[in-house]
Amino acid sequence: MELSFGEMALIAIAIVVLFGPDKLPQIARDLGAGVRKMRGAVEDIKTEIMKETDNPVSEIKREIEKVKDAAKEYNPMHELQKSTVSDIPVTAEPEKPKPSEDETHEGPVSR
């Protein structure tokens, strides 16, 4: 709602006529104090709304941080190091000699 200069002048004249020029400074102070209180109340409401809407987000952020910390602490090699050698089956094959060192190796056969 925007007021033109003429409308504001009419309101000012009406206030002076109704209350008199002596009470005009007191009315201005009271009006300013009322506006400050309203702005403070609006800021309080905004803060409360932000707290309420931010609360689920902050809970999710905390859970994500817990998962990240758990992932940092998890070491799969630690589990392998705990197991003993007898737990791991040994299926070692005998080492084959290299063809250059094997006297029985005939190489590729052409027909």
Band (pLDDT 50/70/90 cuts) for residue 39 is very high
Q: Interior CA angle at 27 toward 29 and 5, to 5°?
A: 95
The pLDDT score that the predictor gives to residue 44 is 93
The pLDDT score that the predictor gives to residue 58 is 74
Residue pair 107/99 in contact (Cβ under 8 Å)? The answer is yes
Note the pLDDT tens digit of each residue in 1-32: 688 999 989 988 998 899 888 888 898 899 89
Give 44 or 103, the one with higher predicted confidence: 44
| pTM exceeding 0.85 | no
- Report how far residue 71's alpha carbon sits from residue 73's, in angstroms, rounded to the nearest whole number: 5
- Report how far residue 67's alpha carbon sits from residue 72's, in angstroms, rounded to the nearest whole number: 9
Domain boundaries, the chain: 11-85
